[in-house]
Amino acid sequence: MAPKAEGAVRPRPRAARIAAALVVAAAAAASGWALWRRQIVVSSLPPVPAAADSELADQLGAAERDARSFLHPVRGLIRLSRLYHANGDYDQALQCYAALRRLQPGNARWPHLEASLLALDGRMDDAIPRERRAVELAPGYVPARLRLAQEYQKSNRGAEAKAEFGRVLARAKDDPYALLGIALCDIQEGDWYGAADPLRRAVAAHPDFVGAMSLMVTVYDHFGDGEHAEMLRQAIGRREFIDLEDPWLDELMDDCYDAYRISVVAAVQYFAGHAEAANALLRRCIRLEPQTAAYRRQYANDLFKEGDLPGAREQLEIAVGLQRDDSDAWLLLYQVEQAMRDLPAASATLLRALACCPKSASLHLERAHLLRAQGQAEEEARELHEAYLDDMRNGEPLEELALLYLGRRRVGDAVALLQEALARQPEDPHAIAMMTFCCIETGDEAGALRWWTDHVCRQPRVPAELKQALQKEYQQKFGRPLP
Amino acid sequence: MIPAVRPRVLLAAVAGAAALLAAGCTRSKEETALKLGHAPIVDDLGRFTPEAVGAPVSDNPWISHVSIVDLDQDGLPDILATDDRLNAIVWLRQVRPGKFEEAVLYGDLPAVVHVEAVDFNHTGHLDLLVACMGQVFPNNDKIGSVIILENDGRQHFIKHVLLDHVARVTDVQAANLAGHTDGKLDLAVAQFGYIQGEIRWMKNLGGWKFESQNLLNLSGTINVCCADLCGQGHTDIVAVVSQEWEEVVLFRNDGSGNFSPSVLFGSTNEDYGSSGISLCDLNRDGRPDILYTNGDGFAYADPGTRPWHGVQWLENRGNGVFQYHRLGNLAGAYAPVGVSLDNDGVMDIVCVSGFNDWRDKKAASLVAFKNDGKMNFTMHVLAHEPIMQVTCAAGNLDNSGLPSIVTGGFAAYPPFERMGRITVWRQKPKAR
């Protein structure tokens, strides 16, 4: 009897065959998927542009190798997109983002970043659908929604802009940029009353938000409310508008190798009150360009304001060593040393600074102040005159010189200087107050009244104590009060 | 042991993977990467010969505006410039072909930044429309003024202060905005201010009397231009507003001085750096287009470049519709001017750079966007110095048949080197 063949080779169970097939199919699908992803990455890689910075070139090279690998092509592409975007290679970044949108269609970051570049290039028609997609994918990411609203607004699509700003407010009730946006839409429609309400809300909730404050001043001006306009104008002072924070975009700076670009962002961060972030960026600038004095000066300026005087001094000493004609760095070093109460060092610094920057008006002005403190009036006058000659746009040295002459009863000379100062800085509050004072001194009542009513009363920046002093002088001289 | 797999199953798996791969190789239209389409760049340094004209550079020059005009109407075009060191308008009179003599035409004009020659009162003599900021550097005081210098025919001028104690004025243009039938010209006024600014138009009531009407209450307006931009037979106004707004705004005129605003272009980047507009029928379709630069590098840190600085063309498609075209990148781009450099009727654009990376000696300070006649542009770098040029004019200064360029330098920040005050750039004759 023939042996049973079936007994020697056990029949494979059907389940095992199916499982094996599934494993093979899964492996094939996984390989196919990986190949597909790599194929997309490789086919979308832009030619690598020449990089000015060697570290950037290395980073681009490494990211490119990753992108071409079988293991981490998407990681490489993401890295490339960041490097390109952050370093101003926008066409290359767009190419990466288009591929990333295909590879990760559920990731809102890619359409958002792509939209930001397209909007930057003025292509709102292309930016809007991408930003809209980003908002659909990440409805909680407020910056994308704000940008979409702004893109509508800049495209004359006021109703859509307003609706989108409204959706922001539904999520973040007092978002200052949304409130400002709604007010701008209202003003575009000629609805000034409508604009006032969101602006008031924005200013109340964010008393430091210059965007709403300055537009509120405009609204007050529009309604002829000069008093409130002026109060708000004074509150704004020299502060600047700061754009909205957009973490997905802002974090790209970590991959920027353009030191100047980083220094600008650092300045914005500092204005926005993020001193530590600003200083971290400036340290990066210094690491990238250790021989550039300007970044050290900027860093030192921040440190000075933060109270880190030794740190500021250290940076400034390096800065003036690197660039001996950087008068701003010298001035700051002098001020830091004064603040440290190291007066001998400060005095020596000022002399060294003037030797290196003999045409610096601000250094001559500081020297004049130093000489005044030492009671050396003639030398002070000489320095003030030098300061004026070196910076024709600044009336301050002339005003100080005029003050010096007034102290010596040389009123005519003082008036001549003040006229010159006013030609440089019309309606300068100190100069017009001093002109009024000169008229009082010389008994020119009509002149005093003219300067008082036509200039001092119309210049809100004249300090109140100066006005009071003028009123007192006038009363004493002419026996009646100023109108 | 690898289990045997039916060929059909294997085939299906491979087919699936192939399908996936194939899908990866084809892209829908939306998935295709967009390109920003910037003009290619070539060096063209030998095309123009520069000549410094007028007073020599004795200090850092502060020339804020230049224009080419035959002020005395002697047949030789002259140059007018605003010099903010002198607070004056200077006249570089072309006394004989190619020879300019400079004189202060009118002084005591605080921070004068724009001068426009126009026969305002129809006497046959060119009067001067003057914009004064009061102070060039940031200041929110109401120190601006609008002045007309009335020409008596012998280049002696009577000063008419039409507006003063207002937000700093940066530009003034004359046009019939009210629909006058007696030839009167009104004024469009750009007021940069600082925190507050505005755009207004001033209706000419006759006898040097004007009535102001506000058009926009935003800070940062640099230029206004007047033309029939909507093709409806009325003069409209277009303005560029910088600061945090960064918009080009059209004010459509109904013919009676009622204006309705619309944004032609707006950037969502508050540091975009709008720096100027001018009008020019770039594609010669009979409609005035808008040339627009963004290159202002004054903000936050030391002044400098931004990767998005550049030159654009807002193509007038008629009826107030404008199509935006980015032409190319130029760090610190300022003062776009349309001109046919080859004098062949094909319009090119010249502009200057006020804020390039001057540490790089190859950074462009004067460029031309050359048009191939089909609206494809190539950026020709015409010069690397003098640096820090912020104003530019183009026109026929001589009888060469080829237009020349005039540029002005404004050196407010380091590096104070390779500076130029007023430079005439003459084209070299083409080699045949």
Per-residue model confidence as pLDDT tens digits over A58-77: 999 999 999 999 889 999 99
Per CB-CB distance under 8 Å, the chain B contacts of A424 are: 135
Compute the nearest-CA separation of B96 from chain A (Å): 34
Task: Kindly indicate the confidence band of residue B432, based on its pLDDT and cuts at 50, 70 and 90.
Answer: very low
* Minimal CA separation from B18 to chain A, in Å: 7
Give me the residues paired with residue B321 across strands: B318
List of chain A residues whose C-beta atoms are within 8 Å of the C-beta of residue B143: 426-427
Query: Is residue B375 very low, low, confident or very high in pLDDT (cuts 50, 70, 90)?
Result: very high
Note the pLDDT of residue B33.
72
Over residues B96-124, mean pLDDT: 96
pLDDT of residue B10: 54
Q: Per the structure block, which two tokens stand in for A243?
A: 């754009």
Which of A240, A244, A271, A432 is best to mutate for the B interface (most B CBs within 10 A)? A240
Question: How many other C-beta atoms can be found within 10 angstroms of the C-beta atom of residue A480?
Answer: 9
pLDDT for A3 equals: 47
Average pLDDT over residues A407-422: 92
Q: What is the pLDDT of residues A211-268, one digit of tens each?
A: 999 999 989 988 989 889 888 888 888 788 888 999 999 999 999 999 999 999 999 8
| Averaged pLDDT score across all residues of chain B | 91
- The DSSP bridge partners found for residue B239 are B224, B249
Chain A: residue whose CA lies nearest to B324: A122
Span A447-470, average pLDDT:
93
- For residue A30, name the pLDDT band (cuts at 50, 70, 90): confident
CA distance A52 to chain B (A): 12
Residue B244: its chain A contacts at CB < 8 A?
Answer: 211, 241, 243
Element spanning A243, H or E:
none
Query: Mean pLDDT lowest for which of A338-352, A389-403, B150-164, B210-224?
Result: A389-403
Identify all chain B residues contacting A29, using CB atoms and an 8 Å cutoff.
Answer: 13, 16-17, 20
User: B377-383 and B41-43 as β-strands: parallel, antiparallel, unpaired?
Assistant: parallel
Q: Residue A132 above 90 pLDDT? A: yes
The ipTM value here is: 0.85
Are B25 and A43 a contacting pair at CB < 8 A?
A: yes
CA nearest to A120, candidates A102, A142, A93: A93
Residue type, B266: G
The verdict on a CB contact (< 8 Å) between B268 and A151 is yes
Chain B residues within an 8 Å CB radius of A146: none
Mean pLDDT of A318-334: 96
Neighbours of A404 (CB within 10 A): 20
- Could you give the 3-state DSSP secondary structure of residue A189? coil
Check CB contact under 8 Å for B244 and A37: no
Closest chain A C-alpha to B371 CA, distance in angstroms? 21
| Among B21, B196, B324, beta carbon nearest to A218 | B196
Chain A residues within 8 A of B312 when measuring between CB atoms: 122
Nearest to A39 among B24, B33, B34 (CB): B24
**How close B91 gets to chain A, by Cα (Å)?**
21
* B333 vs A contacts (CB less than 8 Å): none
Does residue B22 have a pLDDT over 80? no
Does the distance separating the beta carbons of A260 and B304 come in below 8 Å? yes
Residues A416-434 pLDDT 10s: 999 999 988 899 999 999 9
**Residue B292 in contact with residue B277, Cβ under 8 Å?**
yes
A347-375 tens-digit pLDDT: 999 999 999 999 999 999 999 999 999 99
Residue B248 in contact with residue B227, Cβ under 8 Å?
Answer: no
- Contact at CB, A425 and B135, closer than 8 angstroms: yes
What is the per-residue pLDDT for A438?
Answer: 95
Instruction: Give the count of alpha carbons within 13 A of A225, CB side only.
Output: 12
Of B17, B299, B307, the CB nearest to A31: B17
pLDDT class of B8 with cuts at 50, 70, 90: low
The answer to whether B300 contacts A21, with C-beta atoms less than 8 Å apart, is: no
Give the range among A121-125, A276-280, A439-443 with minimum mean pLDDT.
A121-125
Burial class (CB in 10 A: 0-12, 13-18, 19+), B150: middle
Q: Please check whether residue A17 is in contact with residue B3, taking contact to mean a CB–CB distance below 8 angstroms.
A: yes
Q: Which residues of A touch B110 (CB under 8 A)?
A: 423, 426
Among candidates B33, B35, B300 on the partner chain, residue whose Cβ is nearest the Cβ of A264: B300
Contact yes or no for B304/B324 (Cβ under 8 A):
no
Report chain B residues whose CB lies below 8 A from the CB of A31: 17
pLDDT band at A41 (very low <50, low <70, confident <90, very high): confident
Interface size, chain A vs chain B, as Cβ–Cβ contacts under 8 Å = 197
User: B83 or B29: which carries more pLDDT confidence?
Assistant: B83
Residue B16: pLDDT band (50, 70, 90) is low
Distance from CA of A473 to the nearest CA of B (A): 26
Name the residue in chain B with its Cα closest to that of A214: B195
Rounded to a whole number of angstroms, the distance from the CA of B275 to the nearest CA of chain A is 15
Q: What is the DSSP string of A316-367?
A: HHHHHHH-TT-HHHHHHHHHHHHHTT-HHHHHHHHHHHHHH-TT-HHHHHHH
What pLDDT does residue B23 have?
47
CA distances from A85 to A79, A176, B13, B70, B274 (A): 10, 27, 39, 48, 21
A295 pLDDT more than 60: yes
pLDDT in tens, B40-72: 999 999 999 999 999 998 889 999 999 999 999
Instruction: Give a three-class secondary structure readout of chain B.
Output: CCCCCCHHHHHHHHHHHHHHHHHHHCCCCCCCCCCCCCCCEEECCCCEEEEEECCCCCCCCEEEEEEEECCCCCCCCEEEEEECCCCEEEEEEEEECCEEEEEEEECCCCCEEEEEEECCCCCCCCEEEEEECCCCCCCCCCCEEEEEEEECCCCCEEEEEEEEEECCEEEEEEECCCCCCCCCCEEEEEECCCCCCEEEEEEEEECCEEEEEEEECCCCEEEEEEECCCCCCCCEEEEEECCCCCEEEEEEECCCCCEEEEEEEECCCCCCCEEEEEEECCCCCCCCEEEEEECCCCECECCCCCCCCEEEEEEEEECCEEEEEEEEECCCEEEEEEECCCCCCCCEEEEEECCCCCCCCCCCCEEEEEECCCCCEEEEEEECCCECEEEEEEECCCCCCCCEEEEEEECCCCCCCCECCEEEEEECCCCC
pLDDT band at A188, cuts 50/70/90?
confident
The pLDDT assigned to B24 comes to: 45
Name A275's bridge partners.
Answer: none
The per-residue b/e assignment along A261-279, b for 16 or more CB within 10 angstroms, e otherwise, is bbbbbbbbbbbeebeebbb
The answer to whether the CB atoms of B21 and A35 lie below 8 A apart is: yes
| pLDDT tens-digit series, residues B304-363 | 888 899 999 999 999 999 999 999 999 999 999 999 999 999 999 999 999 999 999 999
For chain A, the helix, strand and coil percentages under 3-state DSSP, each to the nearest 5: 75, 0, 25
- In terms of pLDDT, which residue wins out, B13 or B100? B100
pLDDT at residue B100 in the model: 97
Kindly list the residues from chain A whose CB atom is less than 8 angstroms away from the CB atom of residue B306. 261, 264
* pLDDT per residue as tens digits for the range A90-106: 999 999 999 999 999 99
> Do A154 and B141 make contact, defined as CB atoms within 8 angstroms?
no
- Residue-wise pLDDT tens digits, B255-276: 999 999 999 999 999 899 999 9
Contacts of B140 in chain A (CB under 8 A): 233
Q: Is the pLDDT of residue B250 over 70?
A: yes
Say which of A156, A211, A264 has its CB closest to residue B244. A211
Confidence of residue A1 (pLDDT cuts 50, 70, 90): very low
Q: CB B36 to CB A266 under 8 A? A: no
pLDDT tens readout for residues A154-187: 998 999 999 999 999 999 999 999 999 999 999 9
With both helix axes pointing from N to C terminus, report the angle between A142-154 and A109-120 in degrees, rounded to the nearest 10.
30
Using CB atoms, which residue from B5, B23, B243 is nearest to A21? Answer: B5
Tell if the CB–CB gap between B304 and A119 is shorter than 8 Å: no
Which is more confident, B39 or A435? A435
Cα torsion through B239, B242, B244, B247, rounded to 10: 40
Check CB contact under 8 Å for B141 and A461. yes
Cα B312–chain centre separation: 10
Contact B135 A31 (CB under 8 A): no
Nearest to A152 by CA among A188, A114, A109: A188
Task: State whether A426 and B326 contact (CB < 8 Å).
Answer: no
Q: What is the DSSP string of A117-130?
A: HHHHTT-HHHHHHH
Contact B196, A213 (CB under 8 A): no
Span B195-217, average pLDDT: 94
- Average of per-residue pLDDT values in chain A: 92
> CB–CB of B324 and A122 under 8 A?
yes
Check B34 against A98: CB less than 8 A apart. Answer: yes
Inter-chain residue contact B268 with A458, CB threshold 8 Å? no
**pTM score, two decimals?**
0.88
